[in-house]
Amino acid sequence: MTGHTVAVTRRFTFSAAHRYGRPEWSDAENRARFGAVAAIHGHTYTLEVTLRGPIDPVTGMVVDLEELKAVVGETVLARFDHAFINDDPAFPPGVLPTTENLVRVVWDLLVAKLGAERLAGLRLWEDPTLYVDYRGEA
Amino acid sequence: MAIMELTKILRFSAAHRLASAAFSPAENRRQYGACARTHGHNYALEATVRGVVDAEGMVMDAAALEQAMRTAVVDLVDHREVRLVDEQEAQSGAREDTAVPYPFNTAEELVRLATDQRLCRYDVAAVVYNRTARLEGKVSDEADRRRAEKLALEAGALRVDDRLLLDPATGDAGRC
């Protein structure tokens, strides 16, 4: 069973709050630009982490899922589950907590632990109707 | 440069039947089976935009993407019968329960309705009756005119009714 490159995806969920707004604008201006998402609100996010690699001939695995659970738990879930994203150091005033910006932060956290050769892609769902796909810098 | 894809999913429900005007009722039943009877589906439309994340942290404003999907597709077909109508019937407004003015019928053809939005790059609006696409708007040169016609044909139109105006001041950016 060697020589096969396989992609493995595991799904995680976390719940977090955020709001869109530019610090230099008034509340009315932010409501005019961003609408309902200018108010503090929350989502149950779903994060799909895809790792790619050869099947280990001894374990039969591409990745030890216990290792993946530990890495995502310590780096992503511990930081963003039941958190207010706007308070996170990665989102200073002026950096909007969009799904696009959040997936870049999550990518940087995971690629440092898992390695760019293994981390193949992330899909971050803000809700069941909206997601972003990111596969690292081109 | 961070390039990523943003996908929005909207659901809608519509009725249709698969039947060709070239066939008799018996032939349509034989060709299309149960699909020849008027029936309905719950559809999911997934639209993906791809690009560089801008200074605001967005590939595209998700609210604007949703609005475009509603205007271009969902509002036209949700809780309606999707079927062929001619221009006269479409403009009479007599059948509010019927999706007009789009003449396509199968799932693949419904998807083409969304891809027609590529035309907005040339500041061109397309209205389709009986597979004739009427293009209205401004393009900057003959090359853009040919590109707009080609896109309409790729989107499923059999003929193009060209009512485009040439305006060198019109940029390639158009409305999108």
The pLDDT tens digits of the residues spanning B80-137 come to 887 765 556 656 655 555 544 444 444 555 455 545 555 556 666 666 655 667 777 7
For residue A128, give every residue at least 6 positions away whose Cβ sits within 8 Å of its Cβ, in sequence order, or none: B9
CB A22 within 8 A of CB A37: no
pLDDT of residue B93: 57
DSSP character string of A24-85? TS-HHHHHHHHGGGGS-EEEEEEEEEEEEEEPPTTT--SS-HHHHHHHHIIIIIHHHTTEEG
Q: Which residues of B touch A100 (CB under 8 A)?
A: 2, 4, 6, 53, 57-59
pLDDT of residue B105: 45
**Same domain flag for B76 and B106:** no
Q: What is the mean pLDDT of residues B22-45?
A: 91
**Same domain flag for B121 and B50:** no
Question: CATH number for the domain including A9?
Answer: 3.30.479.10
**Same domain flag for B11 and B35:** yes
| Kind plus residue range of the DSSP H or E element containing B132 | strand B132-139
Q: What is the ipTM of this complex?
A: 0.86
Domain count, chain A: 1
pLDDT single digits (tens) A80-129: 999 999 999 999 999 999 999 999 999 999 999 999 999 999 999 999 99
pLDDT of residue B77: 83
Residues of chain A in Cβ contact (below 8 Å) with chain B = 35, 37, 95-101, 103-104, 128-135, 137-138
pLDDT of residue B82: 79
**Same domain flag for B52 and B75:** yes
Name the residue range of residue B31's domain.
Answer: 1-81
CB B86 within 8 A of CB A124: no
pTM of the predicted model as reported, rounded to 2 decimal places: 0.70
Statement: residue A1 has pLDDT above 60: no
**Same domain flag for B99 and B174:** yes
**Same domain flag for B101 and B138:** yes
**Same domain flag for B70 and B87:** no
